[in-house]
């Protein structure tokens, strides 16, 4: 930069115009000019460019603005020097190579021709050779790409020619095969004609045999209709028994809120017997409770699978089970709170509050339905700080244990819905395990307390 330009940053001193380079080689230098324009103080910019200083990079790439920037680079020496300085500061290592005339080495090492041209333009006369080398390298690269495209097109044409020849050969072979098939078809037609005449003679004999079979079929249908009427009466009797059992079952649930395992099992047995009798009588598609079901329910619940490499009592296994669709998690309340890893030293009220808070967080985290069962709802002290949320809390009546309540709820849950029971009580684990529930011990639930 000359002294006059340094004294007056807005003065315009004509410089060497930018060489006529391909757009892809000149783009990097123009990008540096746009960055300089946006970063400079308004007073340091040529008057024609000041209005564009606050424009976004995308708007600055408008062809009209790029053309004005390019003309300013040709006419304003101070702006040109500022752009050159920015480029040389950003690419100091490459600039040293080009100043020493090692542009061929830079290109051979993998530097893009666009970057070499950018730094070469910033070096002015010292970078002219580098700019020319970048132009030649870009032209060579483009020529190689075009040659590769031609070779690829030629290979494709040869492949298509080979495919056309193969298709022609296949069509010729298919024509010969069709002629052979035509001759064989004519022979087959003559053979079929001979068989037709033989079959016509036999058909008359079969018609007589068919008449005899129809008479036997009518007799069999009459006997089957009588048997179906007998079975229909038996179905009606079982339907009446089932309706009465279901009515008593619903009345029992409304009156006590609990389900007797014996009643639930009896209703299930009646439903299974009625379904089997309907299938035997051929009435499975008719109206009634069995026909109204949208899909056949499984006869027995299957426990959930244990993840590979885990045990049924691992906290990670319980976490995986709680994400199962529609899962019901039944928690043996005091069995968990009184476990050494639980809260045995706290009061009963605090034990319940801590456990229910943990279950509420896990239910919301995994989307599972959780029911916590405690022994004796009338035992003091009455719970006062029960958390609200997606957790059902059950306190059994006097004389009924939490184990019995959990077994009853497991047995009453539809067999297609998975049930997980959390308890370390071996007797309870055996009882619900026999009903197809998935069972895990209390530490598995407590182990999820600090999980994130």
Does residue 289 sit within a domain? no
How far apart, in whole angstroms, are the C-alpha atoms of residue 372 and residue 423?
11
Boundary (domain end) residue, out of 107, 139, 171: 139
The answer to the question of residue 204 being in a domain is no
What average pLDDT does this structure show over 368-375?
95
Alpha-carbon distance 210 to 223, whole Å? 20
Q: Print burial letters for 221-244: b (CB count within 10 Å at least 16), e (below 16).
A: eeeeeeeeeeebeebeebbeebee
Q: Residue 302 falls within a domain, yes or no? A: no
178 CB contacts (<8 Å, ≥6 apart)?
Answer: none
Mean pLDDT of 140-157: 86
Decide if 309 is inside a domain.
Answer: no
pTM above 0.75, yes or no: no
* pLDDT-based confidence at residue 282 (cuts at 50, 70, 90): low
- Lowest average pLDDT, out of 6-15, 71-80, 142-151, 384-393, goes to 6-15
Looking at residue 337, its pLDDT comes to 96
116: which 2 tokens?
Answer: 């070499």
User: What does the pLDDT read at residue 266?
Assistant: 63
Residue 279 lies in a domain: no
User: Residue 441 is encoded by which pair of tokens?
Assistant: 């011990």
- Final residue belonging to a domain, choices 71, 104, 139: 139
Q: Is residue 177 part of a domain?
A: no
Distance of CA 49 to the CA centre of its chain: 52
Model confidence pLDDT, tens digit, residues 34-76: 888 888 888 878 888 888 888 988 888 888 888 888 888 888 8
Distance CA 324, CA 416 (A): 12
| CA proximity to 73, closest of 3, 111, 19, 130 | 19
Q: How confident is the model at residue 3 (pLDDT cuts 50, 70, 90)?
A: very low
The domain that holds 428 is classified in CATH as: 3.40.50
The interaxial angle of helices 92-99 and 77-90, nearest 10 deg, is 100
> Is the pLDDT score of 6 beyond 90?
no
Q: What is the mean pLDDT of residues 210-220?
A: 86
What's the pLDDT score for residue 4? 39
Does the pLDDT at position 162 exceed 70?
Answer: yes
How high does pLDDT run on average in the chain?
A: 82
Residue 256: count other Cβ atoms within 10 Å of its Cβ: 11
Alpha helix ranges (H) inside 40-127: 57-60, 63-75, 77-90, 92-99, 103-108, 113-123
Higher per-residue pLDDT: 362 or 229: 362
pLDDT for position 305? 94
Q: Give the range of the structural domain holding residue 434, as residue numbers without chain letter.
A: 315-447
Residue 153 lies in a domain: no
The C-alpha angle 404, 409, 411, rounded to 5 degrees, equals: 95
End-of-domain residue from the set 139, 173, 205: 139
What are the CA-CA distances from residue 345 to residues 116, 348, 380, 424, 441 (Å)? 77, 9, 17, 18, 20
- 309-319 average pLDDT score: 94
Where does the pLDDT of residue 291 fall: very low under 50, low under 70, confident under 90, or very high at 90 and above? very low
Give me the pLDDT at residue 276, please: 65
Q: Give long-range contacts, CB 8 A cutoff, 24+ apart: 374-379.
A: 374/333, 374/334, 374/402, 375/333, 375/334, 375/401, 375/402, 379/348
pLDDT value for 164: 86
- Written as one string, the DSSP assignment of 110-173 is T--HHHHHHHHHHHGGGGHHHHHHHHHHHHHHHHHHHHHHHHHHHHHHHHHHHHHHHHHHHHHH
Number of independent structural domains in the chain: 2
Of the two residues 10 and 149, the one the predictor is more confident about is 149
Which of the residue ranges 129-138, 169-178, 260-269 would you say has the lowest mean pLDDT?
Answer: 260-269
For the record, the structure tokens of 376 come out as 């004796």
Return the percentage of the chain with pLDDT > 90, whole number: 33
The beta-strand segments (E) located in 176-265 are none
Confidence of residue 124 (pLDDT cuts 50, 70, 90): confident
Whether residue 219 is contained in a domain is answered as no
The secondary structure element, H or E, covering residue 330 is: strand 328-332
Q: What count of Cα atoms within 13 Å lies in the side-chain half-sphere of residue 90?
A: 18
What is the structure's pLDDT at 287?
A: 46
């Amino acid at each position: 930069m000359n002294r006059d330009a340094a004294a007056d940053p807005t003065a315009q001193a004509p410089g060497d115009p930018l060489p006529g380079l391909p757009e892809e080689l000149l783009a990097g230098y123009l990008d540096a000019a746009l960055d300089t324009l946006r970063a400079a103080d308004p007073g340091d910019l040529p008057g024609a460019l000041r209005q564009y200083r606050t424009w976004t990079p995308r708007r600055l790439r408008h062809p009209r603005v790029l053309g004005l920037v390019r003309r300013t680079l040709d006419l304003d020496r101070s702006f040109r020097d500022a752009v050159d300085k920015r480029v040389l500061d950003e690419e100091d290592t490459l600039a040293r190579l080009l100043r020493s005339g090692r542009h061929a080495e830079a290109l051979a090492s993998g530097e893009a021709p666009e970057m070499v041209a950018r730094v070469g333009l910033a070096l002015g006369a010292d970078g002219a050779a580098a700019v020319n080398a970048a132009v030649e390298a870009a032209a060579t690269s483009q020529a190689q790409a075009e040659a590769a495209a031609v070779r690829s097109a030629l290979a494709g044409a040869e492949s298509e020619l080979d495919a056309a020849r193969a298709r022609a050969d296949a069509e010729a072979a298919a024509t010969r095969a069709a002629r052979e098939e035509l001759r064989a078809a004519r022979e087959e037609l003559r053979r079929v004609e001979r068989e037709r005449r033989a079959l016509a003679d036999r058909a008359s004999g079969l018609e007589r045999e068919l008449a005899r079979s129809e008479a036997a079929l009518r007799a069999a249908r009459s006997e089957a209709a009588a048997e179906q009427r007998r079975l229909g009466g038996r179905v009606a009797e079982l339907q009446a028994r089932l309706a009465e059992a279901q009515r008593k079952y619903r009345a029992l649930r409304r009156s006590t809120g609990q389900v007797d395992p014996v009643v639930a099992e009896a209703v299930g047995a009646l439903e299974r017997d009625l379904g089997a009798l309907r299938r035997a009588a051929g009435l499975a598609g008719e109206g009634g409770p069995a026909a109204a079901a949208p899909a056949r329910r499984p006869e027995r619940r299957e426990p959930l699978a244990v993840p590979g490499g885990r045990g049924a009592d691992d906290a990670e296994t319980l976490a995986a089970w709680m994400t199962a669709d529609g899962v019901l998690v039944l928690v043996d309340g005091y069995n968990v709170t009184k476990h050494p890893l639980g809260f045995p030293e706290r009061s009963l009220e605090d034990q319940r509050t801590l456990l229910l808070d943990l279950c509420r967080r896990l239910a919301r985290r995994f989307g599972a339905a959780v029911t916590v069962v405690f022994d004796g709802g009338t035992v003091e002290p009455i719970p006062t700080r029960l958390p609200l949320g997606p957790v059902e809390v059950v306190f059994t009546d006097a004389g009924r244990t939490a184990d019995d309540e959990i077994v009853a709820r497991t047995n009453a849950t539809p067999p297609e819905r998975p049930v997980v029971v959390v308890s370390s009580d071996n007797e309870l684990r055996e009882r619900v395990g026999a009903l197809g529930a998935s069972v895990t011990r209390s530490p598995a639930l407590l182990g999820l307390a600090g999980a994130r």
